[in-house]
Amino acid sequence: MPAKSLRNFRSYAAMEALNIVLVPGAVLLLAPPGNWAEILAMGIAMAACAGFLFVGAAYWAGLDQRLTTSNRSAMTRALTLAHRLEIPLLLITAAALPMLAFAIYNGGWSWPVIGAALLTVLAALEYINYYHRQLQHFDRPSDFKRLMTGSGFRRSHMARDLAAYRNGR
């Protein structure tokens, strides 16, 4: 594999790991919740978002280890984690929806509720991006060209690796 691709995997792992703290932290800083309904909505949304970012960081770190050091166990651990956390993280993401509705009912579309909604949407997009279809098309010209030519979204790297992992179990 080209060295540039390996650097990309390393940078993806670092970026996702950093975003575990930065994304929910920025939302919390910009829109601190003011009542218990907002706190619950924000907390559940933060957990869902951070959980999927954690899975992504573990996957890219495992892939980097497998490709740079031939350490297959790191990749196996990452795929085991992704497999085990898929349903719990989906349930947490789903639980954010009624909490958002409750927070809206209690106080309307406040900034904390909007922040919690954005984190919930981001969690759902991260789920799709890792477990199903690659949504990111801005860092590789070939991916962007594929998207622009109407070829659609391709299956994500982790989805392919996770399918092979599940078939081999």
The whole-number pLDDT of residue 9 equals 81
Q: Which residue has the tokens 């954690």?
A: 54
What is the DSSP-derived secondary structure letter of residue 154? Answer: P
The whole-number pLDDT of residue 154 equals 77
Average pLDDT value for residue range 125-153: 72
Residue 91 has pLDDT above 80, yes or no: yes
The whole-number pLDDT of residue 105 equals 96
- Provide the domain limits for residue 64: 3-168
Average pLDDT value for residue range 25-34: 97
Amino acid at 43: G
- The DSSP code sequence of 83-124 is HHHHHHHHHHHHHHHHHHHHHHHHH-S-HHHHHHHHHHHHHH
Q: In angstroms, rounded to a whole number, what is the distance separating the alpha carbons of residues 60 and 95?
A: 27
Residue 8 has pLDDT above 70, yes or no: yes
- Best CA proximity match to 131, nearest among 66, 71, 81: 81
Does residue 103 contact residue 38 with C-beta atoms inside 8 Å?
yes
Element (H, E) at 1: none
Sign of the dihedral through C-alpha 17, 20, 25, 31: positive
The whole-number pLDDT of residue 155 equals 84
Residue 44 has pLDDT above 60, yes or no: yes
Residue 58 has pLDDT above 80, yes or no: yes
The domain tally of the chain equals 1
Residue 80 has pLDDT above 80, yes or no: yes
In this prediction the pTM is 0.86
Amino acid at 154: R
Lowest mean pLDDT among 25-29, 118-122, 140-144, 158-162: 140-144
**Cα–Cα separations (whole angstroms), residue 92 to 50, 120, 149:** 11, 10, 36
Residue 100 has pLDDT above 90, yes or no: yes
What does the chain come to in residues?
A: 169
Q: In angstroms, rounded to a whole number, what is the distance separating the alpha carbons of residues 14 and 30?
A: 24
pLDDT-derived band at 137, boundaries 50, 70, 90: low
